[in-house]
Structure 1
Amino acid sequence: MTVYGFGEVLLRYTPPHYEQLKDASAFEVNVGGAEFNALVTLTQFGHSTEMLTVLPNHAMGQLALQRMYQARVGTQTLQLVNGRMGTYYMEESFGYRSGKVIYDRNHSTFAEQGESVLKHLNADKGDYFLFTGITLAVNPSIRQQIVEVLTQLRQRGVKIVFDINFRSNLWTKEEALPVIQSILPLVDVLFFGKKDATHLLETNSVDDDMETCAKTIQKQYNIAFMASSNRDIEASTLQGIVLSGQDYFEGQVYAYTVLNRIGAGDAFMAGTLHGLLKGWSLTQIVDFATKCSVMQHTTNEDALAVDERDVFHLATHFGELNR
């Protein structure tokens, strides 16, 4: 069994020490991307993974490729072509000052040619195909063929995993809605947020709770498994939810401390898939996935790279030292 991730691998430039972008004189560079982040974690948990992407054939592309080698994520289908690297600049939040992201990924190699790697996809029965709404936003060409691609994969017995991950600064609701609505009936595992139900899909009102939102989307699109990580920023807490068939479960609420917000949802997704692949109960899955998300907040990297036992042994007290 292999988990295939289809999406852009890009570089994140962040000023050190919580500096603002306008004052930056240096940047720390991280390699990331939603699908890649999830694959890094799944690889660490012992699963076979393959990244489906296109990188530029120059030093910046080699930087990303080296990170993929280090993480042991599969690169057999990856392509190197002439072009530019997708990047973004992130200003980290501090106190009451909100964070800020500036994307610079138009006309990147993935945006222009990313769909080409799907021609060489050899996924088969029992494999998983993972992608997000970010991929659909970045690469306009894939939107025209995504239904056909997913239909063919499902006919081959491949499970489809989709994180809505709507980004309004990458595409508009008017562009996103018909594309996302067309693929939801083909999705086996869906990751979503409450605003996806209330503001994007408009299946629910803002007064509906998460259980109602999940069951409404499930009923309308016939999705077997759904999950969400609910983050209360003011309270600094996380609570995962899962819906499998008629079984709905809300996990334990965990407090978290923020060193880095990037990749927390990707870590939750990886933790959920790990539990599904291991055949765990819903309670085990949601607890493990939420712990993954909590742990990702404590790292400086875009992806959570820890062993399964590290997640199980998440400290119960702030600043705990294991000796």
Structure 2
Amino acid sequence: MDKGKGKILSFGELLLRFTPDASGNWLKENRLPFFVGGAEANVATALALWNIPSAYLTAVPENAVTEQLISYLDELKIDTSPIVKQGERLGTFYLTKGKDMKNAGVVYDRAYSSYSQLQSGQIDWNEVFADVEWFHFSAICPALTQNVADVCMEALQAAKKNGVKVSLDLNYREKLWKYGKQPIEIMPQLAQYCTLIMGNIWAANKMLGIEIDEQKITSGSREGYLAQAEQTSKDIIEKFPLVRIVANTFRFDKESSVNYYSAMYADSKLVVSAEYNSDNILDKVGSGDCFMAGLLYGDYNGLSKEDTLAFATAAAFDKLFIPSDATTSSVEDIKNRMQ
């Protein structure tokens, strides 16, 4: 992996997450905990914390609240200069404490947000990419509206023209795909511009049309899942020739316990992580974002595939014990977490 020279630019919607407790005490106490988040902002935050030049592009309304939010990101050493100021709304969502983003309990309030109103031709991507090494986005971006999907395509075409590598997180949020398109109609066209694709075997099936051999995974064994991860990775690289790295995560939850491991396929070789288990986790939000940030951290610093995956997996597992959207753990903290 090559040593990076430019910034890593993350593109997505800045969100506020409100976290009511399941029993409704927040109503009695007039207190509703919140966190600053958004999948791509979580990646940008982690990278900045780990001393990688990190930039963030989103769209927010121009008001006193967003001024404070941008100042908050600035203090985290994230370059916020690409942020677009327009529209009237900041996106938010509600998620009961301890629940997963894929859970039916997530409630989005993102319609007509400033970010969802971005249009093609609005951003000068050649200017934005002038000092950028990697461009990161997720499948949440094109899930919002057709015009944001079009902006993603515009960005990816400019990234290819400017020699910028592209990472994609295949995070599937069923509740967001409401504008008449399914992921399979949008994501393959975007994936063809990507260098690194991260997700899991089920997301690759749902969003990219990559088949799953049910015989491989019927037993629910680690060996079977890893065999499918290798096949999924090979199929992605065959279907999308610019892709050179595919990473798959496996997280199996039971209430507050978790079993976690991952695999990365690159240079015709599958690398597998250590397996992590815990009976007591705090917050499921942002673990995958932390994993993605770990992959980018490893690539940027020229780590081996094995060391990159080990760091990314430990970072993702470590995030499960941090009650916020983005990690607050240093590189040293994560190395101490490694098995």
Q: State if a TM-score over 0.5 links the two structures.
A: yes
The AA in structure 1 aligned to 2:175 is: N
Indicate which of 267, 275, 289 corresponds to 1:245.
267
Map 1:266-281 → 2, pairs under 5 A = 266-281=289-304
Aligned counterparts of 1:21 and 1:48: Cα–Cα separation in 2: 41
The AA in structure 1 aligned to 2:324 is: E
Map 1:15-94 → 2, pairs under 5 A = 15-16=20-21, 18-20=22-24, 25-93=30-98
The ranges of structure 1 where at least 4 consecutive aligned residues each deviate by more than 6 angstroms after the TM superposition are none
Q: Deviations over 1:80-120 (max 9, x none)?
A: 234011000111247xxx67210000000111137676325
Cα RMSD over matched residues?
A: 2.3
**Residue identity (%):** 22
Which residue number in structure 2 is paired with residue 11 of structure 1? Answer: 16
The answer to which of 152-161 and 118-127 deviates more is 118-127
Which residue number in structure 1 is paired with residue 169 of structure 2? Answer: 163
Q: Does residue 1:226 correspond to 2:249, yes or no? A: no
Q: Deviations over 1:257-284 (max 9, x none)?
A: 3100110000000011101111111111
Gaps of 5+ in 2: 1-5, 217-227
Aligned counterparts of 2:202 and 2:25: Cα–Cα separation in 1: 28
Aligned counterparts of 2:335 and 2:138: Cα–Cα separation in 1: 27
Which residue number in structure 2 is paired with residue 261 of structure 1? Answer: 284
Indicate which of 292, 299, 302 corresponds to 2:325.
302
Map 1:74-223 → 2, pairs under 5 A = 74-93=79-98, 100-113=105-118, 118-119=123-124, 121-124=127-130, 127-171=133-177, 174-207=181-214, 208=216, 209-222=228-241, 223=243
The AA in structure 2 aligned to 1:113 is: L
TM-score (structure 1 length as normaliser): 0.89
Gaps of 5+ in 1: 317-323
Which residue number in structure 2 is paired with residue 321 of structure 1? Answer: none
Aligned counterparts of 2:303 and 2:45: Cα–Cα separation in 1: 21
The answer to which of 208-217 and 255-264 deviates more is 208-217
- 1:40 is paired with a residue whose SS is helix
Seen in structure 2, the aligned counterparts of structure 1 residues 20 and 193 have a Cα distance that, compared at 3 Å, is farther
Q: Deviations over 1:138-164 (max 9, x none)?
A: 242132343343122112110011112
Which residue number in structure 2 is paired with residue 319 of structure 1? Answer: none
Contact 1:3 1:129 in 2 (8 A): yes
Seen in structure 2, the aligned counterparts of structure 1 residues 117 and 75 have a Cα distance that, compared at 3 Å, is farther
Contact 1:2 1:127 in 2 (8 A): yes
Contact 1:124 1:158 in 2 (8 A): no
Aligned residues: 312
